[in-house]
Structure 1
Amino acid sequence: MRMLAIASLALLATTTVQAAPAAGAGGLAAHRAVYDLSLKDASERSGISGMIGRMVYEFNGSACEGYTVSFRFVTEIATGEDSRLTDQQTTTFEDVRQGKFSFVTRSYVDQKLDHEVRGSAEVSGDGLSVDLDQPEKLAVDIAKARFPTEHMIELIHKAVEGERFYESRIYDGSDDGDKAMITTTILGDKQPVEASDAEAKRAGELADDAFWPVSMSYFEETAEGDGLPVYSIAFKLYENGVTRDLTMDYGDFVLQGQLAQLDIFKPEPCVEQ
């Protein structure tokens, strides 16, 4: 469910080696987006007969103070005659100027804590220095990678510049927090909203704005050759970083996420020192 972290945004970021360009002429929007989730497809091997849920994603902050992301991803999964409730809660903080990132993710199954990942990472030389507190104490150095905010800035900059395919590496603290992932991204040409697009009408002030269709695949760093992605995601991306019409493919099953509500927040003031 790393795509939630991928959707985090910022106005200006530094990468592990060089500065990333600002994302869009108007910057990126602090916002709260609610998505209704449904099962689009599932293989027989998955054992899943049905799935519904809701995802709430909130992005706040400023270039001066840093950026926070808070999201909750709740699903009810039916498997034959049984069902289980999963609840993933994540909060992150990213200081894009100092190249620092911290995160906490708690995953619950049927309201009982199943897994917790807590730690931080920062740019160190030509790589990242990662310090984990949970699930166990661990310090590890990994190759250079973008944090989630940086990654979104890169994505929007590529789209604005007309680049249609690129590869990147991202670190977002997911799984056990001890590794990065390789991403490949395909960007379509900017498209106008169709009159029949009911979801667009729920995007408030963005309802009539054009968007880019985006498809991203995630691979393990150790994958060789033409290995299959761990998962992939497709979505419609606005220039201010808001996303909608999500399709999340986890291999054995595919989830659809439709925007149910969008609130754009007033940006926090940022006075340059």
Structure 2
Amino acid sequence: MISRRGFSAAILSVLAASSLTPAFAQTPAGLVPHRAVYNLELAEASERSGISNMFGRMVYEFTGSACAGWRVNFRFVTQLDSGGEKKTTDQQSSTFEDPKSGRFEFESRTYNEDRLEKEVNGFAERNPEGIAVDITSPEEKQVDLANARFPTQHTLDVLNIAAKGQHFYEARIFDGSDDGDKTLATSTVVGSPVATEADAKDLKAIGALKDEKAWPVTIAYFDDGKMSDALPNYRMSFKLYPNGVSRDLTMDYGDFVLKGSLVKLDMLPGETCKSK
């Protein structure tokens, strides 16, 4: 539910199934293990962007639990047409977030035309002063950052304020994106719950959730410390259900906008945290 390697920054937990039964094993945090596939297409692009067409596919896999930790595997493949020149980019990432120890592990790879262009690996640990980041690749580096929320923590924060009927939330996040050495400031706006559109493209994919209401959510991402006097780096909008499901994605990067439509979801094995 992220920038999660740029495009996935605010993609929150996604769920789809033909019904919502106990067999789907929601975690105690209310997030359900799943694999979601989105088709992406260009909604608009300015002349300055130089983009004539862009499309792709995104796969988002969420597993784990509040007691065992959460893992997100993400892949985003796009084909960009700019001035008659076509370019294929493949972004892959994997993160692990342990709410008990305050540890966050991240690794990412970016391929252009099947050639590895960038790889970043490392981990972050929360301490009394903030977050200590150890980057292990492409070269070893240690960075101390201000305290921040990790991605799944941020997802749960948004769900919590939405459930309380609150509409605004600001937070600093760390997700290991880009070079893994900085935090981002976020500003979240939550609207009143709305029903699923009768003509929604993903009506079949969302299954039983078609009869449920969802919150319209928009999250803007800024360079840390610049939220008050700058435009966001990018903005994500989506519909968010109480159990963490999100759909109807819009990714606004200023010069161009992508729309994401849910086309396939698979429920994955879950686990229940046992009290001692």
Residue of structure 1 equivalent to 2:22: none
Q: Is the 8 A contact 2:12 2:246 kept in 1?
A: no
Q: Is the 8 A contact 2:10 2:236 kept in 1?
A: no
Trace 1:94-109 onto structure 2 (pairs within 5 A).
94-109=97-112
Trace 1:19-34 onto structure 2 (pairs within 5 A).
27-34=30-37
Q: Once the 2 structures are TM-superposed, how far is the Cα of residue 264 of structure 1 from its aligned partner?
A: 2.6
Residue of structure 1 equivalent to 2:235: 232
Residue of structure 1 equivalent to 2:11: 7
Amino acid at match of 2:226: A
Q: Is the 8 A contact 2:28 2:65 kept in 1?
A: no
Distance 1:24 1:91, change over 3 A: closer
Q: Deviations over 1:202-229 (max 9, x none)?
A: 1123222211100110010142642110
Q: Is the 8 A contact 2:135 2:142 kept in 1?
A: yes
Distance 1:179 1:92, change over 3 A: same
Q: Is the 8 A contact 2:29 2:65 kept in 1?
A: no
Q: Is the 8 A contact 1:2 1:172 kept in 2?
A: no
Residue of structure 1 equivalent to 2:147: 144
Trace 1:1-273 onto structure 2 (pairs within 5 A).
1-2=5-6, 4-7=8-11, 27-223=30-226, 225-273=228-276
Q: Once the 2 structures are TM-superposed, how far is the Cα of residue 44 of structure 1 from its aligned partner?
A: 1.0
Q: Once the 2 structures are TM-superposed, how far is the Cα of residue 170 of structure 1 from its aligned partner?
A: 0.5
Name structure 2 gaps, 5 residues minimum: 14-25
1:154 match: secondary structure: helix
Q: Is the 8 A contact 2:62 2:71 kept in 1?
A: yes
So what's the TM-score if we normalise by structure 2?
A: 0.89
Q: Output the CA distance in 1 between the equivalents of 2:211 and 2:49.
A: 38
Q: Once the 2 structures are TM-superposed, how far is the Cα of residue 66 of structure 1 from its aligned partner?
A: 1.1
Distance 1:25 1:187, change over 3 A: farther
Q: Output the CA distance in 1 between the equivalents of 2:39 and 2:92.
A: 16
Q: Is the 8 A contact 2:214 2:241 kept in 1?
A: yes
Show structure 1 runs of 4+ deviating over 4 A.
Answer: 23-26
Q: Once the 2 structures are TM-superposed, how far is the Cα of residue 117 of structure 1 from its aligned partner?
A: 1.1
Q: Once the 2 structures are TM-superposed, how far is the Cα of residue 24 of structure 1 from its aligned partner?
A: 11
Q: Output the CA distance in 2 between the equivalents of 1:7 and 1:39.
A: 18
Q: Output the CA distance in 2 between the equivalents of 1:257 and 1:185.
A: 19
Superposition RMSD in Å? 2.0
So what's the TM-score if we normalise by structure 1?
A: 0.90
2:270 match: secondary structure: coil
Amino acid at match of 1:44: E
The aligned length equals 261
2:40 match: secondary structure: strand
Distance 1:97 1:172, change over 3 A: same
- Identity, % of aligned pairs? 50
1:149 match: secondary structure: helix
Structure 1 stretch 197-206 or stretch 256-265: which is displaced more?
A: 197-206
Q: Once the 2 structures are TM-superposed, how far is the Cα of residue 25 of structure 1 from its aligned partner?
A: 8.5
Amino acid at match of 2:114: Q
Q: Output the CA distance in 2 between the equivalents of 1:64 and 1:205.
A: 28
Q: Output the CA distance in 1 between the equivalents of 2:226 and 2:7.
A: 20
Q: Output the CA distance in 1 between the equivalents of 2:221 and 2:92.
A: 21
Q: Output the CA distance in 1 between the equivalents of 2:55 and 2:228.
A: 35
2:154 match: secondary structure: helix
